[in-house]
């Protein structure tokens, strides 16, 4: 038996993107939160933890291409998944 871990991030636009170093194998790499969680569950990935991961004060590009500072750590949420094989 082996335990595998994977990471994903909910960005400022509300879409989920998987992490390149710890991908969730078999799961679509990006998409809406509900679709992503359903697809991850179908592939036997379990959500273990979620925590705010934005860095306050660091700038990011908004949808209009303007640089804006991050004001709240919860602007990005990191998701940790595990799968027992």
CA-to-CA separations, 64 to 52, 60, 69, 72, in angstroms, rounded? 24, 11, 14, 20
pLDDT 10s digits, 31-77: 888 899 999 999 999 999 999 988 888 877 777 888 888 888 788 89
Q: What is the pLDDT of residue 60?
A: 78
Reported as half-sphere exposure (CB side, CA atoms, 13 A), residue 42 has a value of 9
Domain that residue 40 falls in: 3-84
User: Where is 42: in which H helix or E strand?
Assistant: helix 33-42
Predicted TM-score (pTM) of this structure: 0.80
Total count of domains within the chain: 1
Better pLDDT: 30 or 39: 39
Q: What is the pLDDT of residue 13?
A: 80
DSSP state of 20: S
DSSP state of 66: -
């Amino acid at each position: 038996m082996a335990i595998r871990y994977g990471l994903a991030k909910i960005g400022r636009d509300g879409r989920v993107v998987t992490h390149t170093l710890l991908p969730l194998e078999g799961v679509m790499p990006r998409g809406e939160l509900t679709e992503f969680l359903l697809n991850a569950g179908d592939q036997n990935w379990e959500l273990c933890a979620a925590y705010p991961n934005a860095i306050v004060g660091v700038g990011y590009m908004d949808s209009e291409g303007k640089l804006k500072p991050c004001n709240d750590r919860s602007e990005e949420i990191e998701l940790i998944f595990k799968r027992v094989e």
